[in-house]
């Protein structure tokens, strides 16, 4: 791409500085100073047009989301985000598209003091790959394998909003604006993840669907979980848009929520609420870790609730 260097220059002009970036965009690789005594946490996620977002999604929303999903992964480890890299595959080296993309990407980066330190720019089908890097104190990472029998299962925020927006988009009906923002501009729960490190036993971010992702915690921990389907937190927008049966499916298995699902001992309930509570964000108890190695959902009458599918699978 002949315009490749122009595009890189446009990106370089706009990136924020951090004192631990010894050398950022412009050399063969970035030089970064990991704070003494900290562990480096690294995550990578790719977004492909037509697979992870509708092709007509606004460039700024693609920019926001491509970083958000990576910060969400760092957050689910209890890490403090610091740096990121960006690989852009573009059908045309269009400066206006890149400018729009950066508007969203850098707005979220600024909010969490994340520096873009390098990347790659190529011609090809529209695809965005981001890596995010953060720090955690040794022994303090929130892993998937720490859940214990008797733990409460918690989730931050509300579930099902993003999947609801996607369902409306697929149907071709008008998309509720509150729901659309949850789909296009997910908020990584960075402060909650940091506050939970040292408190929660296990944690995952909900990307593929609650039951599916909670299943990953259970599998890694050698335990199971009972989930109260009617305890899953729902936004007013979701409640007013879908009937109960559809809402349950969207909340339990819709995915794209980027909320944190975590387990913690019963005797730290108050501490968990204090740790997560900030602005409008709350944590809700949705179930219990059990010995039986399966994830089951129940309604208020204690009847088993069986979803049609448990999460998004690519293959």
Question: Minimal distance in Å, beta carbon 28 to Mg ion?
Answer: 4
81 contacts 112 by C-beta, under 8 angstroms: yes
Question: Minimal distance in Å, beta carbon 135 to ligand ADP?
Answer: 21
Residue 116 interface partner, choices Mg ion, ligand ADP, none, CB cut-off 5-8 Å depending on type: ligand ADP
C-beta of 109 vs 163, nearer to ligand ADP: 109
Residue 124 in contact with ligand ADP, rule: CB under 6 A: no
> Of these, 2, 19, 28, 236, which contacts Mg ion (CB under 5 A)?
28
Residue 25 in contact with ligand ADP, rule: CB under 6 A: yes
> Of these, 116, 128, 203, 210, which contacts ligand ADP (CB under 6 A)?
116
Burial class (CB in 10 A: 0-12, 13-18, 19+), 56: exposed
Residue 27 in contact with Mg ion, rule: CB under 5 A: no
- Short-list 221, 164, 196, 184, CA closest to 276: 196
Which 3 state secondary structure label does DSSP give 184?
helix
Binding mask 133-152 for Mg ion (x = CB under 5 A): --------------------
User: Which alpha helices (DSSP H) does the chain contain, by range?
Assistant: 4-14, 59-75, 95-111, 161-171, 177-184, 190-196, 210-221, 236-241, 244-253, 269-276
250 contacts 160 by C-beta, under 8 angstroms: yes
> Of these, 11, 153, 260, 297, which contacts ligand ADP (CB under 6 A)?
11
Question: What residues line the site for ligand ADP (CB under 6 A)?
Answer: 8, 11, 25-28, 86, 88, 116, 118-121
């Amino acid at each position: 791409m002949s315009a490749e260097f122009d595009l890189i220059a446009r990106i370089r002009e706009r990136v924020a500085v951090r004192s631990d970036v010894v050398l950022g965009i412009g050399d063969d690789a970035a030089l970064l100073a990991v704070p003494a005594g900290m562990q480096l946490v690294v995550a990578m996620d790719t977004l492909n047009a037509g697979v992870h977002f509708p092709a007509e999604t606004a460039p700024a929303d693609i920019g926001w989301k491509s970083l958000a999903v990576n910060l969400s992964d760092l957050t689910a480890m209890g890490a403090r985000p610091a740096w990121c890299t960006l690989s852009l595959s573009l059908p045309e080296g269009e400066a206006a598209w890149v400018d729009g993309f950066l508007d969203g990407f850098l707005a979220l980066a600024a909010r969490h003091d994340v520096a873009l330190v390098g990347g790659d720019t190529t011609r090809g089908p529209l695809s965005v790959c981001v890596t995010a890097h953060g720090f955690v104190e040794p022994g303090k990472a929130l892993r998937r394998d720490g859940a214990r029998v008797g733990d409460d299962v918690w989730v931050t925020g509300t579930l099902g909003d993003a999947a609801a927006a996607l369902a409306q988009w697929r149907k071709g009906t008008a998309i509720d604006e509150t729901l659309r923002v949850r789909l296009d501009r997910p908020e990584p729960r960075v402060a909650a993840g940091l506050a939970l490190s040292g408190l929660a036993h296990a944690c995952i971010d909900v990307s593929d669907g609650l039951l599916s992702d909670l299943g990953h915690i259970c599998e890694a921990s050698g335990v199971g979980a009972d989930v109260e389907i009617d305890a899953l937190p729902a936004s007013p927008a979701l409640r007013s848009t879908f009937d109960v049966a559809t809402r349950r499916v969207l909340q339990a298995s819709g995915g794209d929520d980027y909320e944190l699902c975590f387990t913690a001992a019963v005797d730290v309930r108050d501490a968990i609420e204090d740790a997560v509570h900030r602005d409008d964000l709350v944590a809700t108890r949705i179930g219990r870790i059990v010995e039986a190695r399966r994830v089951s959902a129940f309604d208020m009458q204690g009847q088993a609730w069986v979803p049609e599918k448990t999460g998004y699978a690519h293959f």
